[in-house]
Amino acid sequence: MSKILPHIRSQSIIAQTRQFRIEALELEFSSGESRHYERLARSMSMGAVLMVPMLDENTVLLVREYAAGLHRYELGLPKGKVDAGETPIAAANRELKEEVGYGARKLKHLHTVSLAPAYLEHTIDIFLAEELYPEKLFGDEPEELEVVPWDINRIDTLLLSGECSEARSIAALYMAAAYLRGA
């Protein structure tokens, strides 16, 4: 059954930082009911990308970087914002060069995912990166990221290690593994 989207009666910014913007929405549903919602809106970025860089048919390159939300170092996949005037595929290749020191001759869009669609406007495009070649660009990271090769057939072991808890990275690894198996 197709639903009619609620009518946005008003929309306002109630808080903003350098990185985040919180919006208040006054919505009217087709049933006549009205509700107040708040959401974390998109930043000025044109979107975000996350890459599954395959060094060879079995080896994915993970990065270990500081995760301020959990105040610890976390293993995950390289990711970043799409800059103004940049396509997601160009951003994916740039971020690969900045974070893992490789570019990709072949980038395949696997999926677009959201984190918490009831509260966040943010989505991220997931790319499988293959046919890697060495090329390093300097990014905005405050310290050099550790690149960790991992067997993509051992995702369960990675999860059991407790070093990778980010849902986007976990979903992307399983999607890439299924795609590579031809599933």
Residue 30 backbone zone (phi > 0: left; psi -120 to 50: alpha; other: beta) = alpha
pLDDT in tens, 36-46: 988 877 766 67
Residue whose token pair is 């406007």: 121
Two tokens at 64? 């270990």
Task: Quote the DSSP letter at residue 135.
Answer: -
pLDDT in tens, 117-129: 888 778 899 999 9
Residues 65, 11: Cα–Cα separation, whole Å: 36
- Write down the pTM of the prediction: 0.86
Q: Is 182 exposed, middle or buried (0-12, 13-18, 19+ CB in 10 A)?
A: exposed
Residues 44, 149: Cα–Cα separation, whole Å: 33
At 44 the pLDDT is 61
Residue ranges of domains in the chain, CATH in brackets: 7-41 (no CATH), 48-181 (3.90.79.10)
Contacts of 67 (CB under 8 A, 6+ apart): 73, 74, 166
Find the range with the poorest average confidence among 27-31, 56-60, 118-122, 136-140. Answer: 118-122
Task: Quote the DSSP letter at residue 54.
Answer: B
Residues 7, 29: Cα–Cα separation, whole Å: 6
Which runs of consecutive H residues, i.e. helices, occur in the chain?
88-99, 155-161, 167-181
